[in-house]
Structure 1
Amino acid sequence: MITIDGSQGEGGGQVLRTSLGLSMLTGTPFRITRIRANRDKPGLMRQHLTCVLAAAQVCSAEVVGAAVGSSELTFKPGTVRPGDYTFSVGTAGSTTLVLQAVLPALLRAASPSTITLEGGTHNIFAPPVDFLEKSFLAVVNRMGPSVAVTLDRYGFYPAGGGRWTAAITPSAKLDAIEITKRLEITHRRAVALVAGLPGEIGMRELETLRRGFSWEPDCFQIRQLPGDCGPGNVVMIEIGDGQVTEVFTAFGERGVRAEAVAERCIKQARAYLAAGAPVGEHLADQLLIPLAMAGGGSFVTGRPTEHTRTNIDIVQKFLPVTITMRELEGDQWGVEIAGI
């Protein structure tokens, strides 16, 4: 059994999710202590507990410590059972993080699965469904498996109520890939989503986006969602070069001007473009697991975040790979995964 200190590195829920996913994949039991010790409210919150319960259901695991507020957990996985599952966070907590916990094992399962998730679909401090589909899963789908996403209903904090489905067709083997050079940018899109709020908010955000980028007019869109999906407001910018599409997100907040929300998103996109690396910081975190499952691969990203460094440590505890990072020119970093 592997013992993991949940306070290591970034000390958040990522340590738990990666451990759950790789435990299911490898059949390796683990015990984690000091769960989310570096957060204002340590221990398991509702969305983290949903990750644990979802993982346990998919692989018939024995679990000790699965309760809201728990700071320790023991997880002994059984056999992974592909099939049709529905998991509800029960709050506006992130549903995309729940999929992260069960996805690795289901990518290599014996038959397809369908995962329906209910709760938050667009949450601050979590990858929105758009990022998961267009950025992360688009790369995974090039490696052999196929994951198709259908978004039925948006869910924003604090109301939640979102619903979406991931249809997973597994592959016995994942192919290693390399993403080491940014190609010519061929895809640009900026969207303002507004639900249950005045449409003027989205219009002001869109005008700010237009001033920020001299793109073709059809690159800018506003989407007025049904009122009962809200209240919610999100600005998203997509930038792709044919091998990677990065999705940058900023959320509307009470007391924050629409222009300021759009500027936050613009700042993220401009930083990515200026860095020149093909893989952004959030995608870098997530690519580590599928590349480690493939037993090899490499990518170039910006300066590694604490999330990336922490994920590297956890992956190497479960899988027979070495992950190395080296600084390149211009504050770019190369990340290489190799089988032992």
Structure 2
Amino acid sequence: MNFLKINGAHGEGGGQIVRSAITLSCITNQPIHLENIRKNRKNGGLKPQHLTAIRILQKISNAKVIGDTVGSTELKFIPGEIKNLELIEDVKTAGSISLILQVLIPVVSISQKKLNLLIKGGTDVLWSPTMNYTKYVLKDAYSKMGIRFQIEITKRGYYPKGQGIIKLEVEPSKIKPIKLSKRKKQKLKLKCTFSKIPIQIIEEKIKEIEEKIKEHNFQIEIEIKEEEASDSGASVLIYSLDENSIIGVDGLFDKNTQKFDLDIEEILDNSLGADKNLADMLVVPASLGSGKTKFEVKEITKHLETNLFVTSKITGCKYGIGKISNGFEVIIEGVSNTSIK
């Protein structure tokens, strides 16, 4: 069998390589052999959330998988025919559902299939996008690219128990290129969700964020919502959407410092087309569409650099990065993969 070998230690050497590689393996029907998975990380190899994504994709694409165990640094993934499915899955930890959905949504939608999924796990946890980021920021970006999905947040899942419940529906799509250049509007939306924390504390911290935003001459629309969860926790998302830009920043409430861990400057000082986290989420669909996707971003993160490398290796797409006055322009020329009917 003709495996495409991918070094999992390339670039940032984390889970992003795993997610992008198995996503593209399914869509392009290319068997892959991942080596050195998360080799440079403290606890290397595959984690439970990676395995959940791999096993769901195994069901969706009728794949054969070798090496799908916790801690494994090597994985062979041999995709088969992608099917319409209804699934119920459980991460069994507070592992990030958002990172799992980043894998599932493009595979199903770009492959012209449907998925109804109920999944339990972490909705708002460290080192991953909050569920609100996925529901509002990523959804808007993917919608512009032709990818349609719906998310219903039934229950929030914070660390350590997780136990959040998400319902996902994905529809077939045809990918189209997008252009994200300069932000035109000075309007922001803030969405805060919390559980088992006094509302007075949450409102006080959101008020501090609001005052800082208004100092920078932004208009702000605020929604604070108490939602059921097994553990105490809270998250905040601030985002801006217009025809030329999609920018979001999110963070979790730190119960030790009693503050939201939020880099608000990421949105206040960014007048370009995309935030740094969204940028690497655009790469996979952009690589498989027709025409050129262009977006401007303040910095080229290790995640983005790694994703561009892995995606171009699997799909054969071409990409370029150019310096502009206040950041970078990224151009991805899609390949309109012929294996997708």
**Do both proteins adopt the same fold according to a TM-score greater than 0.5, normalized to the shorter chain?**
yes
Aligned equivalents of 2:5, 2:220: Cα separation in 1: 52
Partner of 1:17: 19
**Residue deviations 1:29-57, cap 9 Å, x none?**
11111111222211111111111111111
* 2:62 pairs with 1:81: no
Partner of 2:321: 325
Aligned equivalents of 1:269, 1:98: Cα separation in 2: 26
Q: Is the 8 A contact 1:147 1:166 kept in 2?
A: yes
Partner of 1:101: 103
Partner of 2:271: 276
**Residue deviations 1:53-110, cap 9 Å, x none?**
1111111111111111111111111111122122211111001111222222211234
Distance apart, 1:218 and its partner CA: 7.2
Distance apart, 1:203 and its partner CA: 2.0
Q: Relative to 1, partners in 2 of residues 1:196 and 1:334: Cα closer, same or farther, differing over 3 Å?
A: same
Q: Relative to 1, partners in 2 of residues 1:236 and 1:145: Cα closer, same or farther, differing over 3 Å?
A: closer
AA at the equivalent of 1:325: I
Q: Is the 8 A contact 1:197 1:230 kept in 2?
A: no
Aligned equivalents of 2:38, 2:220: Cα separation in 1: 43
Matched length: 330
Q: 5+ unaligned residues in a row in structure 2: which ranges? A: 336-341
Partner of 2:177: 176
Partner of 2:205: 205
Partner of 2:338: none
Partner of 2:161: 159
SS of 2:13's partner is: coil
Q: Relative to 1, partners in 2 of residues 1:311 and 1:209: Cα closer, same or farther, differing over 3 Å?
A: same
Distance apart, 1:216 and its partner CA: 8.7
Between the two proteins, what is the percent identity of the paired residues?
A: 25
* 2:228 pairs with 1:232: no
User: Which deviates further from its counterpart, 245-254 or 301-310?
Assistant: 245-254
Q: 1:31 aligns with which of 30, 33, 36?
A: 33
Q: Relative to 1, partners in 2 of residues 1:257 and 1:166: Cα closer, same or farther, differing over 3 Å?
A: same
Q: CA RMSD in A?
A: 1.9
User: Which deviates further from its counterpart, 17-26 or 319-328?
Assistant: 319-328
Q: 2:116 aligns with which of 96, 107, 114?
A: 114
Aligned equivalents of 2:283, 2:244: Cα separation in 1: 17
Distance apart, 1:242 and its partner CA: 4.1
* 2:330 pairs with 1:335: yes
Q: TM-score, normalised by structure 1?
A: 0.91
Aligned equivalents of 1:40, 1:335: Cα separation in 2: 31
Q: Is the 8 A contact 1:206 1:221 kept in 2?
A: no
SS of 1:275's partner is: coil
AA at the equivalent of 2:135: E
Partner of 2:242: 241
**Residue deviations 1:247-298, cap 9 Å, x none?**
311212232132xx2xx42xx3333332321201000010111111114311
Partner of 1:285: 280
Distance apart, 1:15 and its partner CA: 0.4
Q: 5+ unaligned residues in a row in structure 1: which ranges? A: none
Aligned equivalents of 2:95, 2:316: Cα separation in 1: 33
SS of 2:282's partner is: helix
Q: Is the 8 A contact 1:86 1:116 kept in 2?
A: yes
Aligned equivalents of 1:218, 1:299: Cα separation in 2: 25
Aligned equivalents of 1:22, 1:160: Cα separation in 2: 28
Q: Is the 8 A contact 2:179 2:293 kept in 1?
A: yes
Higher helix share: 1
Q: Relative to 1, partners in 2 of residues 1:197 and 1:222: Cα closer, same or farther, differing over 3 Å?
A: same
Aligned equivalents of 1:193, 1:39: Cα separation in 2: 31
Aligned equivalents of 2:171, 2:301: Cα separation in 1: 31
Structure 1 segments of 4+ aligned residues over 6 angstroms from their partners: 215-218
Distance apart, 1:339 and its partner CA: 4.2
AA at the equivalent of 1:318: I
Q: 2:308 aligns with which of 307, 312, 317?
A: 312
